[in-house]
Amino acid sequence: MIPAIILFALTYVLMLIFGKYRPIIALTSGIIFIATGMLPLKEIIPAIDFNVLLMIAGTMGLVALFIESKMPSLLADLIMERVPNIMMAAVALSLFAGIISAFVDNVATVLMIAPVALEICKKLHTNPVPFIIGIAVASNLQGAATLVGDTTAIMLGSALDMTFMDFFWYQGKPSIFFAVELGAVLSALILAFIFRRARAPIPKATERTKVEDYVPSILLVGVIVLLILASFAPDGWNLPAEINGLLCCGVLLIGLVYSFFKKKNASAIVTPLKSIDFETLGLLLGLFLMIGGISNMGVIDKLATLLAQTGGGNVFLLYTIIVWGSVLISAFIDNIPYVATMIPVIGGIATALNIDPTVLYFGLLSGATLGGNITPIGASANITGIGILRHEGYTVQNKDFFKIGIPFTLAAIIPAYLYVWLLYGV
C-alpha cells in the first residue's frame, strides 16, 4: 500500500509543478502501476471510465460543428446585449452552466458552454481563463443538485432509494437541492468579487451574428435531452454503463454524416474529429489507471475506514469529518470510486449507532462533489476546461485555478455543511 501512496502523491506533485506535461506524467504513472502489478491486467478495463472518455470525444466533435455554425457567436451576442459589464458576463455564464449541469453531466456542460464564453472573450478582447474556470467549478457544484446531475448523485439516490423529487423535498424537509443552490448563490457572489475590477462596459453589437446552419444546435440540444431521458431509464432496461458516452458519439456520427452530405468532401468529417483533444483524453486515462491502482491496493478503503473511526460515536463529529475529509480527498481522488466506497461504510456506521444515515450521506455527497474544485486536476470538468483553453493557446497556471477554485469551494461548502446539519442532523 505504501508504494502506491508514494507513487500517487509524487505523480500529483509533478502534475501540479509541470502543468504542461500532465498527460505524459499521468500516463507514465498509470503504466508504472500496471508494470509493478499494483494494477493487475484484469483490473485495467474496469478502472477506465469509458463513459467519460466517449462522452468527451463525442461532445467535442459536436461542439466543433456547433462552433462552425456560428451559434456560439450568436449566443454571445445575446448575452452581451443583456449584461452591463464583463463581471456580470462571467457570473451569468457560470450560473447558466450550473443550471444546465443540474440535469446534464458536468463535462458535457463545460464542453457546451465554453465555446460561448470563448466567443464573448474574443469580442471583448479579454482573457478567457477565469471565465472557463468559473464555468467548470460551477458545473461541478450543481452536479449534486438533482438525481440526474452527476454519477455520485445517482449512487446516493440508489443508496437511499430516492426519487427525482426527493432531491427537492425529503422526509418532510427541503432536501439537498436547496443546500446546493444556497452554495451556488454565495459562490456567485464570490465570482463577482473575484471579477470586481472587470467593470468595463460591454459594447453592444450593431448587428447580431447570423447562424448559417441550425442542425448542429439541434443535435447538441438533442444530446442534452437524450442524456436527461437516459438518467430516468428504469433499472430493468439494463442500459450499458457507457450509455451517456454512446449517446454522445452516436449523435456525433449523425452530425458527421449530415456534414459530409452537405459539404461533399472529406474535411466535413476530418475537421470535427481533429478538434477532439486527445491530450485531455490521455490525462483522464492516466488518472483512471492511477486511481484504479490505489483502489486495488486498498488505499481508498483505508481512507474511508479511517474517516469513520476518527469520529467515534459522536454524530456531529462524524458528519464534520465526512464532509471536510471528503472535500480534501476528492481534491486529489476521483469522487466516484471514493463515494462508492464510502456509501457502505456510512451505512455500517449508521446501523452501529442506530441513527438515520441521511445527514451523513448528504454530507458525503456535498463534500465529495465540491472537493474537486480545489485543484485543476480534481474533477473531469476542470481537466476538460483546461484542455479547451490549451487548445486555444492559453496556459492555466495553478495560481489561476486556486484563485477561483478555493474561495468558490469554501463559499459553496460552508453553507451546505450548515444547512444539512441544521435540517437533518439536529
| CB atoms inside a 10 Å sphere around CB 238 | 7
Between 69-73, 233-237, 297-301, the lowest mean confidence (pLDDT) is in 233-237
170 backbone dihedrals φ, ψ, rounded to 5°? -140, 135
Domain count, the chain: 1
pLDDT at 148: 66
What's the distance, CA 209 to chain centroid? 30
The string of DSSP codes covering 228-274 is HHHHT--GGG---TTHHHHHHHHHHHHHHHHHHHHH-STHHHHHHHH
Cα atoms in the Cβ-side hemisphere of radius 13 Å centred on 205: 18
Task: Tell me the CA distances in angstroms from 375 to 282, 380, 393, 403, 406, one per residue in order.
Answer: 18, 11, 21, 10, 8
The CA-CA-CA angle for residues 9, 14, 18, to 5°, reads 155
The three cell numbers of residue 334 are: 476521483
| CB atoms inside a 10 Å sphere around CB 243 | 18
Cα separation, 183 vs 395, in Å, equals 29
Q: Is there a contact between 33 and 289 (Cβ–Cβ < 8 Å)?
A: yes
Q: Which residues pair with 173 in a beta bridge?
A: 170
pLDDT at 341: 67
Element (H, E) at 226: helix 215-231
Cα separation, 262 vs 169, in Å, equals 49
- 229-250 pLDDT per residue, tens: 877 777 677 788 788 789 889 9
Q: Which residues pair with 174 in a beta bridge?
A: 169
Banded model confidence at residue 381, pLDDT cuts 50, 70, 90: confident
The three cell numbers of residue 149 are: 446531475
Model pTM score: 0.72
Residue 147 predicted with pLDDT over 80 = no
Residue (of 106, 173, 180, 171) closest to 366 by Cα position:
180
- 162-201 pLDDT per residue, tens: 777 888 888 889 998 998 888 888 888 888 888 888 777 7
| CB atoms inside a 10 Å sphere around CB 359 | 24
State the DSSP code for 19: G
Q: Is there a contact between 59 and 53 (Cβ–Cβ < 8 Å)?
A: no
Q: Provide the residue range defining the domain that includes 176.
A: 2-425
pLDDT at 417: 93
Q: Is there a contact between 286 and 377 (Cβ–Cβ < 8 Å)?
A: no
State the DSSP code for 205: P
Residue 311 predicted with pLDDT over 70 = no
Q: What is the mean pLDDT of the chain?
A: 83
Dihedral of alpha carbons 266, 271, 276, 278, sign: positive
pLDDT at 395: 83
